[in-house]
Amino acid sequence: MKVLSLFFFLATIIATCQGAPHHHNPGFDCLSWRLAVETNNMRHWSVVPQACVSYVGHYMLGYQYRKDVQAVADLAYNFAKTAPLPRDLRTNLWIFDVADTVLSNLPYYAQPDVAFGGTPYNSTKFAIWEQKGISPAVPGILDLYKKVQSLGFKIVFISGRSESLREVTTKNLKNLGFTTWEKLILKQTSDAGTSSQIYKEKKRSELLAKGFYRIVGNVGDQWSDLVGEHVGIRTFKVPNPMYYIS
């Protein structure tokens, strides 16, 4: 019932957005702004420009976002099918970030007082949302997860979520069909204050230090998921113009 209510909530927002005019400040090109975000040319920004809040909302709730994510998933799967893998005893890993790569926070960001990232980040309010454990799946990613597993890859989730959210995250993932994985890596208290890029680089290094893993694919919604050391043979970025994490 929670899932049905969630989708009804999103459907209501979509209907509202479809009735609103699709325009933005003519002095500020929001399409170019989003392109700069996705190509990592726009960095260290804190909120979506007010001129682009409506634009980002329409994009995230509309057809194009789903089409774009599916394109990423298709490219990732096509690579996975033909990835050049040495013949040795190492286990081939496929890494996924969690928030807005696998589990969508769109219902949270669609709230009027959050405005698709147009307001400053509220850690207290976001923590309440995470504790609910009702995130829907990011479109197209569950199918990619199943396909790369069918090719023999082992799945590792590396998330910036706190270790305290392990139970609720595990339940949320399994309820959506993400049923098995090699590891679910969550942030420990010792990782506090570490940037996302450094934290994820460290966790990838720890995996490889064991000597029996190889990182082949890596999917994330932030560039901090996909840059630095040991990112894998190929990386794939899911679009997310709602926030930036360094």
Residue range 231-243, pLDDT digits in tens: 999 999 999 999 9
Task: Look at the block and give the residue holding tokens 């840059």.
Answer: 227
Could you report the per-residue pLDDT of 151-176, keeping only the tens digit for each?
999 999 999 999 999 999 999 999 99
Residue 140 main-chain phi, psi, to 5 deg: 85, -15
Q: In the chain, what are the domain boundaries?
A: 2-237
**According to the model, what pLDDT value does residue 10 have?**
55
**188, 160 Cβ separation under 8 angstroms:** no
pLDDT exceeds cutoff 70 at 21: no
Q: Is 40 left (phi over 0), alpha (psi -120 to 50) or beta?
A: left
CB 215 within 8 A of CB 208: yes
Q: How far is CA 166 from the centre of its chain?
A: 17
User: Which residues partner with 220 through β-bridges?
Assistant: 237
Mean pLDDT value across residues 14-23: 41
pLDDT band at 17 (very low <50, low <70, confident <90, very high): very low
pTM, entire model: 0.89
Give the pLDDT confidence of 43-77 residue by residue, as tens digits. 999 999 999 999 999 999 999 999 999 999 999 99
Contact (CB, 8 A) for 185 and 157: yes
Give the per-residue pLDDT at 67.
98
- What contacts 213, CB < 8 A, 6 or more positions away? 90, 91, 93, 207
Residue from 66, 49, 50, 71 nearest 14 by CA: 66
Written as one string, the DSSP assignment of 144-188 is HHHHHHHTTPEEEEEEEEEGGGHHHHHHHHHHHT----SEEEEE-
Q: Which CATH number fits domain 2-237: 1.10.287.110, 1.10.2020.10, 3.30.1490.20, 3.40.50.1000?
A: 3.40.50.1000
Burial category of 240 from C-beta neighbours within 10 Å (exposed 0-12, middle 13-18, buried 19 and up): buried
H helical segments located in the chain: 2-18, 30-38, 53-61, 63-82, 106-109, 123-132, 141-150, 166-176, 196-209
Q: Which two tokens stand for residue 183?
A: 């590891």
Q: Give the pLDDT of residue 97.
A: 98
